[in-house]
């Protein structure tokens, strides 16, 4: 039963990381920008929701507001920073460094505006527990599970069936060609980052509710998400989501065998071995950017 509970906890955490991974992969596959600042938006959104519930805003509204905030900040980063760098012909490395700059700025702005300390949501229901088939979950965990699956299915359907989704896939599959059609890649980039940043707000808030918020912890979550994206095959949203769950389950299960301090090292060690054996990822046959 202990193992099953560990697996269940891993699946929940994996779903949350899955959303981070999918949203990161969506933006990366479309623009080619290694948007590390995504972790900063994750943090910011968590704190915005925490602040709003703190001043008495109902939780659903606070969640919506933080999604909107994430989308706006993301769009702002694209419109001001990445677009300008694109215009200047900056290399991917320059964009990555700029993104790290934004991440550090966002983390520190959060620490200054709100607090640098660990905080918890003041919501009475966050400690309530439900039991499903002998496995115990907290209410925030159930929310994570439901939101992640629904949003993941939503983004896949969006990408496949809507006009904007197809435009995004077109830009991802051939950016240079998109530029000489009526596709407006720069506009598409803004939509993509707004969608990705709105999405990442959800795990940002829900994990914060389930555990706690701290301005500087989001990077390790992003790192796991990025590993899941690479292991899942860049450009495969399903691969990123599934690998996130696999990684989180491995990390969760490892606690049963080694000290908890080792769990992160175990996951990353497995990743290093995995990438040596299968550098192209699990679900893609070669490194190309496609959604």
Partner 1 sequence: MTYLTVTNVNKRFGGIRALADCSFSINQFEASCVVGPNGAGKTSIFNVVTGFITPETGRIEFKGADITAMDRHARVKAGIARTFQNLRLFDTLSVLDNVMICLGDEAANDPLTAVFRPFHTQAVLRRKRDAAMHLLEQVGLAHKANDQAINLSYGQKKLLCIARVLATEAELLLLDEPTSGLAAGALDSMVELIHNLKAQKKTLLVVEHNTKIVKRIADEVLFFHRGTLLAKGKPDEIIANKELGKIYFGEGA
- Please classify residue 250 by burial: count the beta carbons closer than 10 Å to its beta carbon, then call 0-12 exposed, 13-18 middle and 19+ buried: middle
CB closer to partner 1, 36 vs 71: 71
Under the binding rule (CB under 8 A), the answer on residue 183 touching partner 1 is yes
User: Does 172 contact partner 1 by CB under 8 A?
Assistant: yes
Nearest to partner 1 of 43, 159 (CB atom): 159
Q: Which is nearer to partner 1, 49 or 172 (CB)?
A: 172
Nearest to 14 by CA among 266, 150, 279, 203: 203
Confirm if 18 and 229 have CB atoms less than 8 A apart: no
Question: Per-residue DSSP letters for 222-270?
Answer: HHHHHHHHHHH-TT-HHHHHHHHHHHHHHHHHHTTTS-GGGHHHHHHHH
The tokens for 202 are 């959800």
| 286: CB partners within 8 A, 6+ apart | 280
Please state the closest distance from residue 174 (CB atom) to partner 1, in A. Answer: 6
Could you say which residues in the range 184-213 bind partner 1, by CB under 8 A?
184, 191
- Is residue 169 near partner 1 by the rule CB under 8 A? yes
Taking the C-alpha atoms of residue 260 and residue 278, their distance in angstroms, rounded to an integer, is: 28
Q: Is 284 in the site for partner 1 (CB under 8 A)?
A: no
CB 138 within 8 A of CB 128: yes
Query: How far is 194 from 19, CA to CA, in rounded Å?
Result: 14
What residues between 149 and 168 interact with partner 1 by CB under 8 A?
A: 162-164, 166-167
Pairing of strands 135-138, 129-132: antiparallel
User: Is 179 near partner 1 (CB under 8 A)?
Assistant: yes
Decide if residue 173 touches partner 1 (CB under 8 A).
yes
Q: Which of the stretches 8-16, 78-86, 171-179, 250-258 binds partner 1 when contact is defined by CB under 8 A? A: 171-179
Least separation in angstroms between residue 163's CB and partner 1 is 6
Task: Please name every residue paired with 132 in a beta bridge, in sequence order, or none if there are none.
Answer: 135
- Kindly tell me which of 178 and 249 has the beta carbon lying closer to partner 1: 178
Choosing from 174, 258, 279, 287, the residue that interacts with partner 1 (CB under 8 A) is: 174
Minimum distance from CB of 22 to partner 1 (Å)? 17
φ and ψ at residue 88, rounded to 5 degrees: -85, 0
Distance between CA atoms of residues 43 and 69, nearest Å: 12
Would you count residue 181 as binding partner 1 (CB under 8 A)?
A: yes
**Rounded to the nearest whole angstrom, what is the least distance from the CB of residue 185 to partner 1 in the complex?**
9
Contact status: 290 vs partner 1 (CB under 8 A) = yes
**Closest distance to partner 1 from the beta carbon of 179 (Å):** 6
Site for partner 1 (CB under 8 A): how many residues? 22
- First-to-last alpha carbon distance for the chain, in angstroms, is 38
Q: Does 44 contact partner 1 by CB under 8 A?
A: no
Q: How far is the CB of 32 from partner 1 (least distance, A)?
A: 16
Residues that bind partner 1 (CB under 8 A): 162-164, 166-167, 169-170, 172-174, 176-184, 191, 290-291
């Amino acid at each position: 039963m202990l193992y099953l509970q560990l697996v269940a906890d891993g699946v929940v955490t994996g779903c949350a990381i899955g959303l981070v991974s999918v949203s990161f992969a969506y933006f990366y596959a479309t623009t080619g920008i290694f948007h590390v600042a995504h972790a900063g938006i994750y943090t910011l959104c968590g704190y915005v929701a925490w602040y709003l519930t703190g001043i008495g805003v109902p939780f659903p509204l606070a969640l919506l507001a933080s999604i909107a905030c994430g989308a706006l900040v993301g769009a702002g980063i694209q419109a001001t920073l990445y677009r300008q760098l694109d215009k200047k012909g900056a290399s991917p490395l320059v964009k990555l460094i700029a993104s790290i700059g934004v991440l550090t700025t966002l983390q520190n702005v959060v620490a200054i505006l709100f607090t640098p300390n660990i905080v918890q949501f003041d919501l009475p229901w966050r400690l309530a527990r439900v039991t499903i088939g002998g496995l115990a979950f907290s209410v925030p965990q159930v929310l994570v599970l439901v939101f992640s699956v629904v949003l993941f299915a939503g983004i896949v359907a969006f990408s496949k069936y809507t006009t904007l989704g197809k435009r995004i896939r077109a830009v991802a599959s051939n950016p240079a060609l998109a530029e000489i059609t009526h596709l407006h890649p720069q506009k598409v980039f803004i939509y993509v980052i707004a969608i990705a940043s709105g999405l990442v707000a959800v795990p940002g808030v829900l994990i914060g509710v389930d555990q706690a918020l701290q301005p500087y912890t989001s990077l390790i979550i992003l790192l796991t998400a990025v590993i899941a994206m690479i292991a899942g095959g860049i450009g495969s949203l399903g691969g990123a989501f599934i690998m996130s769950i696999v990684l989180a389950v491995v990390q969760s299960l490892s606690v049963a065998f080694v000290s908890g301090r080792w769990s992160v090292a175990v996951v990353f060690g497995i990743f290093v071995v995995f990438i040596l054996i299968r550098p192209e990822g699990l679900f893609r046959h070669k490194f190309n950017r496609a959604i």
